[in-house]
Amino acid sequence: QSALTQPPSASGSPGQSVTISCTGTSSDVGGYNYVSWYQQYPGKAPKLMIYEVSKRPSGVPDRFSGSKSGDTASLTVSGLQAEDEANYYCNSYAGSNNVIFGGGTKLTVL
């Protein structure tokens, strides 16, 4: 399977909202409600921010939310803060015990 498609970059000013998209196909994003989002700072391990499209793990601020429409999933960060500047990756279950990731989006807080 091909990687999911994410915009290489996104940006917003503190306090604003920004949405990052993750586009796949009916064989992955569109076919299952198993989309996860990860935050990764340079040189650090990824951190789970959203799972099963829209669920937040304990400890993740409610400024982070997820949704899905058709073959595209989205991560929205509301009330942007300086510490939100990081790389964000989506992934999706793709059937037959396979998982595919997106190429990543670098979020810049202006």
Q: Contact positions toward another protein, by CB under 8 A?
A: 3, 32, 34-36, 38, 40, 45-48, 51-52, 57, 89, 91-93, 97-104
Which one, 45 or 82, has the nearer CB to another protein? Answer: 45
Closest CB 19 distance from another protein, rounded Å: 19
Nearest 5°: the CA angle 13, 17, 21 is: 115
Closest CB 99 distance from another protein, rounded Å: 4
Which one, 52 or 83, has the nearer CB to another protein? Answer: 52
**41, 83 in Cβ contact below 8 A?**
no
